[in-house]
Amino acid sequence: MPHPATLIPGDGIGPEIVESVLAVSEALGNPFMWEMAPAGLGAIATHGDPLPQSTLDSIRKNKLALKGPLTTPVGGGFKSVNVELRREFELFANMRPATTLIPGGRYDNIDITLVRENLDGFYAAFEHYMPVGDDAKAVAFSAGFNTRAGCRRIIRHAFEYAVANGRKKVTIVHKANILKALTGIFLDAARDIAPEYEGRVAMDDRIVDACAMQLVLNPWQFDVIVTTNLFGDILSDLIAGLIGGLGLAPGANIGANAAIFEAVHGSAPDIAGRGVANPVALLLALGLMLDHAGDKACGDRLRAAIYAAVVTDEIRTRDLGGTAGTADITAGIRQRLR
């Protein structure tokens, strides 16, 4: 029986890569029964709202969604729909696994899962400006927060993920030397919880700046990384770079009552509408969604077909150094699923 799921095409390259998802899903035997739902810039034009109620209702009903990237205006404009969705469905864990797909790159055999706290930190900050003289925006304030309960929940989630996936180590990333309260509370929670996993999963910790350098110098020392919201956002893009770029990095937003899967990358307005976007990150997110829905065999079949098309058949989009378009790589993966 196909699982009912919401599918949000999104903005920029979103509709192009979602078309690829639909074509590949069909070749997989339609494991999901898609309910199309609008969000983002496009939804303002059609529904007067970047996050229409009908889309929220669809996700609430299906508890499962795959989302194309959504454009967020920089500086002013409407709030990030991504952040709103995480808050609305309490999607507290952002899982970003990065595994080498194409061997022989600058870094080989990378296999790191970054677990990002998805609700608090500077993403939940109270921001405002203070005027000085005739400058209305002379001083900018941001007051982020982390809660002990939120820290404990994400750290436990990271350790449980490590146990369930045969991982050996969880690295806690923080900046408790400077942001002593904001990220000290995170480190304290980790030190409290890690002993429960002694003998099964090792724990160490890094200051975020040192972690960034060590990820570049020796990424193989990392297994599972768990960190606060902003650090997780930045480090996961760095880690995506280690495996060949954003075109290969999937993500999952997990909550108690819903899960939303997506690519780590954004709407890539610079290449939108040109048929050159790499659909692999969103297809790998589809694989994570199949695993989550209990259909790991289908997820493995999809990953094997992606590997065969991209690595064996060398069908690669421009971001991976090839010349293929979105339709070529989609056709190559479909061919491998026959």
Does the annotation count 175 as an active-site position?
Answer: yes
Nearest to 37 by CA among 7, 67, 63: 7
Residue with tokens 């900046």: 175
CB under 6 A: which stretch of 23-31, 164-172, 197-205, 270-278 binds ligand NAD?
270-278
Nearest to 88 by CA among 79, 96, 97: 79
* Residue 268: strand, helix, or coil: coil
Distance of closest approach, residue 16 Cβ to ligand NAD, in angstroms: 9
Residues 234-253 binding ligand NAD (CB under 6 A) are 246-247
Distance of closest approach, residue 299 Cβ to ligand NAD, in angstroms: 20
Using rule CB under 6 A, residue 55 touches ligand NAD: no
Distance of closest approach, residue 279 Cβ to ligand NAD, in angstroms: 7
Does the annotation count 123 as an active-site position?
Answer: yes
Does the annotation count 209 as an active-site position?
Answer: yes
Beta strands in the chain, from DSSP E residues, in sequence order: 3-8, 32-36, 64-67, 93-99, 111-117, 121-132, 135-145, 169-174, 202-207, 224-227, 250-254, 259-263
Using rule CB under 6 A, residue 82 touches ligand NAD: yes
Distance of closest approach, residue 327 Cβ to ligand NAD, in angstroms: 14
Q: What is the rounded distance in angstroms from the CA atom of residue 336 to the CA atom of residue 265?
A: 25
Collect all residues with Cβ–Cβ distance below 8 Å to 80 and sequence separation of at least 6: 70, 72
Q: Which of 175, 205, 295, 319 is catalytic?
A: 175
Using rule CB under 6 A, residue 94 touches ligand NAD: no
Interface residue with ligand NAD among 184, 241, 266, 322 (CB under 6 A) is: 266
Structure tokens of 33? 């029964």
Q: What is the rounded distance in angstroms from the CA atom of residue 78 to the CA atom of residue 228?
A: 24
Contact 4, 35 (CB under 8 A): yes
Residues 281-310 binding ligand NAD (CB under 6 A) are 281
Complex with ligand NAD: residue 187 or 258, whichever CB lies closer: 258
Interface residue with ligand NAD among 271, 285, 310, 324 (CB under 6 A) is: 271
Q: What is the rounded distance in angstroms from the CA atom of residue 317 to the CA atom of residue 98?
A: 19
Distance of closest approach, residue 280 Cβ to ligand NAD, in angstroms: 8
Distance of closest approach, residue 258 Cβ to ligand NAD, in angstroms: 16
Q: Which of 123, 161, 205, 319 is catalytic?
A: 123
Distances (CA, A) of 335 to 13, 193, 276, 306: 23, 47, 19, 10
Using rule CB under 6 A, residue 70 touches ligand NAD: yes
Interface residue with ligand NAD among 6, 20, 55, 72 (CB under 6 A) is: 72
Residues 195-214 binding ligand NAD (CB under 6 A) are none
Residue type (1 letter), 285: A
In 113-207, alpha helices (H)? 148-164, 184-193
Q: What is the rounded distance in angstroms from the CA atom of residue 226 to the CA atom of residue 157?
A: 9
CB under 6 A: which stretch of 88-96, 112-120, 275-283, 293-301 binds ligand NAD?
275-283
Active-site residue set: 123, 175, 209, 233
- Give contact residues for ligand NAD (rule: CB under 6 A): 13, 69-72, 82, 246-247, 262, 265-271, 277-278, 281, 319
